[in-house]
Chains A and B, each alone.
Chain A
Amino acid sequence: DSGVTQTPKHLITATGQRVTLRCSPRSGDLSVYWYQQSLDQGLQFLIQYYNGEERAKGNILERFSAQQFPDLHSELNLSSLELGDSALYFCASSLSGGIGSPLHFGNGTRLTVT
């Protein structure tokens, strides 16, 4: 058990809809990362937060947004969903986000867009 909790585990929704994925980091970790994993693209970095502030941005679409709240949990909002957004979405946390900080991953949210 990594200590990172993601909810929900599975989500099935229709194209055009909006969903929110939730992540509770490991106790004491200040940094939260979001990744998207699909069969053809592998594990793609979306965005990183550190203590409530955005630290780094990856291949995150404009239709997607995220935030980290004062209690350090994070949410990833996906809107105007398309079939191609179907994927596993992982949240990870680390103590500081500094060089060499190990990432602890949750078990992911499987999103299916129909």
Chain B
Amino acid sequence: TQLLEQSPQFLSIQEGENLTVYCNSSSVFSSLQWYRQEPGEGPVLLVTVVTGGEVKKLKRLTFQFGDARKDSSLHITAAQPGDTGLYLCAGEGEYGNKLVFGAGTILRVKS
């Protein structure tokens, strides 16, 4: 069973601060996806990383896939209250199925 550990579980920061969320596993994934979920809604895809060492930027969000494709990180620069939500990483198996989710990081950005 492929397991993904996310840290931290909770993060409460002030507007304007930077933060990093980590997603680690002992398994190799064919791709790593990051989602954001708001209360009462389903997760929404932020980014997919496929190549080891890949870095993708989405405005103030920077995503990195580890060289060995076992870990990933999400860095948010100058966090804003609108960034508040549950951030989930998800690893994809070898054949593109069975997307396994981490437990998530609850982020609260205070103004």
Contacts and interface: CB of A to CB of B under 8 A. Distances in A.
Interface residues of B, number: 25
B88 A99 contact: no
Interface in B74-101: 88, 92-93, 95-101
Chain B binding surface SS class: loop
A108 interface: yes
A105 B92 CA distance: 16
Interface stretch (B14-22, B37-45, B55-63): B37-45
Contact of A99 (B31, B35, B43, B100): B31
Nearest to B49: A100
Given A45-B98, A45-B101, A100 B50 contact: yes
A102 interface: yes
B10 to A, nearest CB: 13
Contacts of B100: 45
A48 B101 CA distance: 15
A54 B42 CA distance: 23
B102 interface: yes
A40 to B, nearest CB: 10
A56 B97 contact: yes
A62 to B, nearest CB: 18
A97 B30 CA distance: 13
B34 to A, nearest CB: 11
A41 B55 CA distance: 30
B102 A45 contact: no
A83 interface: no
Given A99-B50, A102-B45, A107-B41, 17 more contacts: A2-B42, A35-B101, A42-B104, A43-B43, A43-B88, A43-B101, A43-B104, A45-B98, A56-B93, A56-B97, A96-B96, A98-B96, A99-B96, A100-B30, A101-B96, A104-B45, A108-B42
